[in-house]
Structure 1
């Protein structure tokens, strides 16, 4: 019965951790995850965020998965993501302190029933407030956690009667290391292994050094979450997983061979008598030392990881691998996808009319020589992927603000594709006037359109650069001045919208005048003038579609 009780207590503890984590996320609202992205721009801030978030959520695995999602979406750099994951390693040691104090040093069993009751009450149907329900779920989880610990403590006393402690004491340290690694990998929770280890240590089923070896193994095993989250995914996710694994391997193997043999002597030196406090202190210190060693070298470490696993030339397909269960990252990924679509549209539309936007160009030689029909088909396929991903995201019960952003991005997508189709429909007519005799009305009209489109897309290209800076956080004013910088960006981009719209109107009128002047004095009515006016009209509307898309992208950027 003791073994069954032990397993039951462990199952209750794991479920309680999940409820606690879910409740805290629900109670904290959407701003909590946005805070992760906005406060991870330096090594110290990234690590601090990882420590804090893990301490609050009580799950380094969840923090790792969230970070994978944000890095994959481009909302967080790999550099920042590695900092967060390294900080999470230290943050998860706080669980050991909580379990030691609450589960083994304090008698909180009298709180279990009230906590469960309050938690259940706040989740009844008559309460609709999300944050209150989340708080209740967290309290329910905390009550279950205390109960699970109590069950495990009582069951361990019975287990010690069934297990030959002398045989356990003879096991080599590497065996305990391996056991901890396997347990953490299977349960996907180093906190659960910590709780089991503390229970065994408190009943003297294992010694302090063996318990420490178990915890070192659990630290290694918890990297399995990051590895599993990166399997079959983007290179960026694999880079983050590799950085996490290598950090843990270096720190934990070094601790096993260098620090573990000295643990009893060190605790005696500092006067720590309680073995349970000694264990959690050792766990915290080894992770703190690892963080202090790696943090100053974070930039070099990131570059080394990027050299080991270089990013593919075109990794846009991985944008749709971001889990929709993390809506902040998924919306950021959708936003990045639509901006890529806009870049593709610029490349296609300028190729159609025979102009380049810049010296280095948005068009590589490969794109220039690629069949225009293939480019257009690729855009249509990319549009379909965007729409499919957006639909999945909307079906995942996202917040209203995120749903509004998805709606704006879908409208921007449609506008971009409409613009491409508009120029596609008039390409034959445009080719005809481009081939007109130099100095003729048709040739002059083609020159005017080419000049306009080059200027239009140069401005547009720069605006997209600003939007990308806003999304990735490279615009430091946003991070330092918050809403003020966001408002400045919105004002700047609104000015760009107005500039492009005014440029479009002026060009449309100038070309209308050019057409009239070119055909003035002709007595015969021809189809040419109608074709030229239609072409002018479509160029004008193509530009309006592109401005519309930019406006919607700007709205989303300002709201994130």
Structure 2
């Protein structure tokens, strides 16, 4: 038994080592080309699909492509809709490993081919350390050698196990055999973190005919399911966007597995036709490789009509508070057919933006420097909300609008400007160091701070509009005079006075932006009489 287990474990280890060397070497040899493809070839669904398949076939690792895609989403370089098609394509590209094993690895004299590749590749890799791309190609060659060597050892091990496997009478195992082999394939992939390894084991185990074709196909389906574990592990601790990509991978592989099981006899029959049509070796490993490709292509066809709904569903998963803030609550493109309702929803969204911007500004007034990152994320979320409002405005102004709606839009556009100014000014205010102009000026600073907070609170009051501009201006002028007098008397130096004046001016601008935004929204934020009268006509 040891004589069988030893080459089995050794073959698996060599296969995984070869895959790792081959993947790393090919990525190094390609340089920035693969990153460029991933970043620029994904603007449409078809191009994302092709890019995912091509890169995976090139580097021989769907896991590497999936993890890289999650990283791109984490960095904001790919959107969810772009990334999911790269992941779908990676599932097709990973089927190349099955073809390599079935058509090359199991057919060649692995000793005569693998050993020279390993030796030449490693020696060339050491000699070409100063030239990374050539060295990467040499490393990939050594990886191919180890890959074929591992396949050869696995084949040798399973040839020794064939009599024992044949004695199990797997063909008579009943209805539980297929689910069992799906589980075996999924476990092998999860444990090795490589669907390619699970494929190699399945193909070599089936080469002698000990494992019936339908059960081996079930193990291939299981390997496809198990490969989602890599994406799920990569998504742990990642951004919500990256977690959605991982869930897209799970959803695609689940749909693919269901389709493959439902059409298992048909797909196995079609795989024989593919081999005959391509004039390839028609045996059990070859059929499994063709089956693997066919059912992943089937998965693409099945997911195609579901993709828009899937994307929308995924977009609602793992929402953070900031992401919830960035999404409009009242805007709906279906309302564009009724301008009065569209303007009302726009007014409500502008009021929401106004209040959220003032809440952030108020939090920044008393926030410690350590809160800057958290507040910056909220700031970016509100900027996304303003972009959504502007996009809706652009669509709305492209329709035929009555005169009253046009007046409302003018005020609402200005309200968005004031909200953006409040965000920008509060960010600049938070970035400035605290004032150090001495205790004598503290009452003036306290009065200014209190007035700004009163202005923010008054501007956020939905029921009553209060003009706080005169009080804010009076507090600013008193503070400015006190700062300049302190400089003239010598009780404060120029640097803190300059900083104090800059801070005071920003505080005045914040109070004014809040007040002006509330004034613009005063007539429209709850859809008052003018729009209601228009609807009644």
Distance 1:100 1:206 in 2: 15
Deviation at 1:444, TM superposition (A): 9.7
Stretches of structure 2 that go unaligned for 5 or more consecutive residues are 277-281, 325-350, 377-426, 452-469, 506-537
1:326-365 mapped onto 2 (5 Å cutoff): 360=353, 364-365=357-358
**Relative to 1, partners in 2 of residues 1:79 and 1:539: Cα closer, same or farther, differing over 3 Å?**
farther
Distance 1:533 1:374 in 2: 23
> What residue is the counterpart of 2:225 in the other structure?
220
**Relative to 1, partners in 2 of residues 1:533 and 1:53: Cα closer, same or farther, differing over 3 Å?**
closer
Native 8 Å contact 2:54 2:93 kept in 1: yes
Distance 1:75 1:535 in 2: 43
CA shift digits 1:362-382 (9 cap, x unpaired):
962322333623254412888
Native 8 Å contact 1:83 1:295 kept in 2: no
| Pair 1:291 & 2:286 matched | no
- Residue 169 of structure 2: SS of its match in structure 1? helix
**Relative to 1, partners in 2 of residues 1:39 and 1:270: Cα closer, same or farther, differing over 3 Å?**
closer
Distance 1:284 1:225 in 2: 20
Distance 1:420 1:363 in 2: 20
1:417-456 mapped onto 2 (5 Å cutoff): 420-422=431-433, 424-425=435-436
| Pair 1:262 & 2:270 matched | no
**Relative to 1, partners in 2 of residues 1:251 and 1:126: Cα closer, same or farther, differing over 3 Å?**
closer
- Residue 217 of structure 1: SS of its match in structure 2? helix
| Pair 1:66 & 2:77 matched | no
1:83-162 mapped onto 2 (5 Å cutoff): 83-107=85-109, 109-124=111-126, 127-162=129-164
| Pair 1:250 & 2:255 matched | yes
> What residue is the counterpart of 2:399 in the other structure?
none
| Pair 1:194 & 2:199 matched | yes
**Relative to 1, partners in 2 of residues 1:134 and 1:362: Cα closer, same or farther, differing over 3 Å?**
farther
Deviation at 1:41, TM superposition (A): 2.0
Higher relative contact order (CA 8 A, sep 6+): 1
Native 8 Å contact 1:422 1:542 kept in 2: no
Distance 1:538 1:77 in 2: 43
Query: How many aligned residue pairs are there?
Result: 397
Distance 1:175 1:184 in 2: 14
Deviation at 1:36, TM superposition (A): 0.9
Distance 1:271 1:141 in 2: 27
Distance 1:262 1:533 in 2: 81
TM-score of the pair, normalised by structure 1: 0.62
Native 8 Å contact 1:3 1:159 kept in 2: no
Distance 2:487 2:132 in 1: 70
**Relative to 1, partners in 2 of residues 1:137 and 1:173: Cα closer, same or farther, differing over 3 Å?**
same
- Residue 299 of structure 2: SS of its match in structure 1? helix
CA shift digits 1:307-362 (9 cap, x unpaired):
3x14212379xxxxxxxxxxxxxxxxxxxxxxxxxxxxxxxxxxxxxxxxx99469
1:527 to 489, 492, 503: 489
Distance 2:147 2:6 in 1: 18
**Relative to 1, partners in 2 of residues 1:18 and 1:371: Cα closer, same or farther, differing over 3 Å?**
closer
Distance 2:42 2:272 in 1: 39
CA shift digits 1:177-215 (9 cap, x unpaired):
111111111111111111111112211111211111110
Deviation at 1:84, TM superposition (A): 1.0
**Relative to 1, partners in 2 of residues 1:417 and 1:30: Cα closer, same or farther, differing over 3 Å?**
farther
- Residue 105 of structure 1: SS of its match in structure 2? coil
Native 8 Å contact 2:12 2:150 kept in 1: yes
CA RMSD of aligned residues (A): 4.1
Distance 2:144 2:196 in 1: 14
Report which stretch shifted further, 373-382 or 174-183: 373-382
Bigger Rg, structure 1 or 2: 2
Native 8 Å contact 1:165 1:206 kept in 2: no
